[in-house]
């Protein structure tokens, strides 16, 4: 009888140890209400001078916050969102997601949120769109198509152009600012394309299942505003940075890290009119963390702050 109790105790202890080992070793696990595998989007709006963060909850609804209080925008999203601010009166914020039908869906804010509107297209599973604003009324939306190529749809202030292929072989959600788009290539490295120019490798190695984020915008005159900063999650699950300040020559860590381990998801980034660069990322707890950089160089990053996660 005692021997039987001992065997049962050993078996239960082994089960607990295995469960603990699985939790500790799973870098991809996300608890709370943030959808596993999704990262945040960040956008600054000159309308109110605030940074907004967008995240998808475990049920697929899109949420946003500027102060830690989350509000739902509904919808059913299946990947990380993308968002951009605007200097145009037509919309102060545009946010884009991949819906359950695989198409791109858009919601915009201009003194109130619009309803959801489909842009069609078909995005590769587990990837989301990217969006940039290259002029006051010109929105460019980029996606990884189901054939793994980069596809683009352009809004010129009157109508959308429709989807057309820019080629390449992508393995993640893209990132974009102005006419520049950045992706994870088939070799795991970061690649860059500007308009009709050829693809250029920026090297590095991105964690599988993650894409890049890029800050910078051409619409303001601030010294730092047009400076791109490219962020990736490396295979070591740390955030790495590359920028034209170093001639695109060198990858550097941004110094410090959120107090919680990073989930396997893409980061988000934006730049405000004061010249500050903001990078954000999801942790394994499901919380959204952000850090701010206020100088022209790539060092001197601020500490990390959390806006929590969708309730």
* pLDDT at residue 14, rounded to an integer: 33
* pLDDT at residue 32, rounded to an integer: 58
* pLDDT at residue 7, rounded to an integer: 34
pLDDT tens digit string along 234-264?
999 999 999 877 778 889 888 678 889 999 9
**Fold observed for domain 31-308:** Neuraminidase (2.120.10)
b/e map 89-110, b = 16+ CB within 10 Å: eebbbbbbbbbeeeebbbbbbe
- Tokens linked to 269: 């980034």
b/e map 267-306, b = 16+ CB within 10 Å: bbbbbbbebbbbbbbbbbbbbbbbbbbeeeebeebeebeb
* Cβ-Cβ contacts under 8 Å for 211 (sequence gap 6 or more): 80, 127, 172, 173, 174, 175, 183, 184, 266
The candidate with the shortest Cα–Cα distance to 40, out of 292, 285, 311, 280, is 280
Which residues of the chain register pLDDT less than 50?
1-31, 220-224
* pLDDT at residue 20, rounded to an integer: 24
Give the C-alpha separation, 139 to 135, whole Å: 8
Give 218's Cβ-side CA count (13 Å radius): 13
pLDDT tens digit string along 148-192?
999 999 998 788 999 999 999 999 999 999 889 999 999 999 999
């Amino acid at each position: 009888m005692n021997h039987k109790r001992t065997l049962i105790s050993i078996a239960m202890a082994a089960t607990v140890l295995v469960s603990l080992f699985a939790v500790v070793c799973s870098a991809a696990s996300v608890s709370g209400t943030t959808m596993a595998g999704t990262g945040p989007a960040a956008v600054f709006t000159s309308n109110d001078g605030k940074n907004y963060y967008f995240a998808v909850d475990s049920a697929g609804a899109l949420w946003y916050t500027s102060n830690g209080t989350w509000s739902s925008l509904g919808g059913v999203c299946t990947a990380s969102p993308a968002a951009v601010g605007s200097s145009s009166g037509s919309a102060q914020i545009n946010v884009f997601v991949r819906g359950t039908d695989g198409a791109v869906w858009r919601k915009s804010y201009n003194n109130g949120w619009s309803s959801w509107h489909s842009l069609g297209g078909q995005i590769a599973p587990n990837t989301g769109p990217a969006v940039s604003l290259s002029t006051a009324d010109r929105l460019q939306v980029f996606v990884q198509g189901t054939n793994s190529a980069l596809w683009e749809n352009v809004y010129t202030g009157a109508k959308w152009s429709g989807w057309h292929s820019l080629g390449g072989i992508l393995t993640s959600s893209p990132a974009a600012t102005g006419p520049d788009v950045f992706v994870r290539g088939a070799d795991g490295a970061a690649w860059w394309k500007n308009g009709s120019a050829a693809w250029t490798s920026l090297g590095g190695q991105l964690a599988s299942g993650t894409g890049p984020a890029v800050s910078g915008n051409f619409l303001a005159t601030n010294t730092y505003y047009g400076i791109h900063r490219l962020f990736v999650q490396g295979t070591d699950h740390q955030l790495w940075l590359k920028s034209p300040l170093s001639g695109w020559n060198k990858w550097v860590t941004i110094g410090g890290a959120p107090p919680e381990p990073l989930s396997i998801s893409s980061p988000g980034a934006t730049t405000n009119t004061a010249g500050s660069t903001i990078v954000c990322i999801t942790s394994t707890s499901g919380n959204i963390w952000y850090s701010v950089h206020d100088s022209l160089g790539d060092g001197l990053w601020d500490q990390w702050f959390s806006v929590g996660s969708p309730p």
